[in-house]
Amino acid sequence: MVNAAPDIFDQQGDKYEASLGDGWETSPAFLVLSDDDGKAAHALGRAGVRFSHIDEYGRELTPEQRDVEEQAAKTWDVPYTPNFISDVYLTPRGPMVWTDTKGELTRAMGEAMLRVLLEELRAEGITARVVAPPADVPLEGVPVIPLAGSS
């Protein structure tokens, strides 16, 4: 079974005021509690690569769409995608990644990220629960798995 804490984003940031739309004031992080940390870490790495292609409307853009979007950015406003996705940290509690969404997470983007992560975990055939990492999870000095395409 693979699932996520229902309040994963509420735990990480305040909800926007209704007049500002639907979302949270956060750059989300995802911690995977699993019966197989190795497979969970690989699934999280694949999901992290995909996160960088999810826009504020919850669409997972193809490389072709991203190229068009980058060209369009020179002339008009384009949908926002995360600025950065961390490598996978192999913490004592389980693998995790954090994202940089400039402190703004739309509901559509958050739900799409969670959908992608759950999909990748299910593909591994493991038991896993996705939660918000606690503030005291250590990151300094822990092993990391680089995301594909990162340097």
| Domains of the chain by residue range | 2-145
φ, ψ dihedrals at 128, nearest 5°:
-155, 150
- In this predicted structure, what is the pLDDT of residue 151? 43
* DSSP string for the chain: -EEE-TTTTTTTSEEPPGGG-SEEES--EEEEEES-HHHHHHHHHHHHHHHTTB-TTS-B--HHHHHHHHHHTTTS------SEEPPEEEETTEEEEEEESTT-EEHHHHHHHHHHHHHHHHHTT--EEEEPPPTT---TT--EEPPTT--
- In this predicted structure, what is the pLDDT of residue 143? 95
pLDDT tens digits, the chain, 151 residues: what are they? 999 999 999 999 999 876 667 899 999 999 999 999 999 999 999 999 999 999 999 999 887 776 666 666 655 566 789 999 999 999 999 999 999 999 999 999 999 999 999 999 999 999 999 999 998 888 999 999 998 755 4
pTM of the model: 0.89
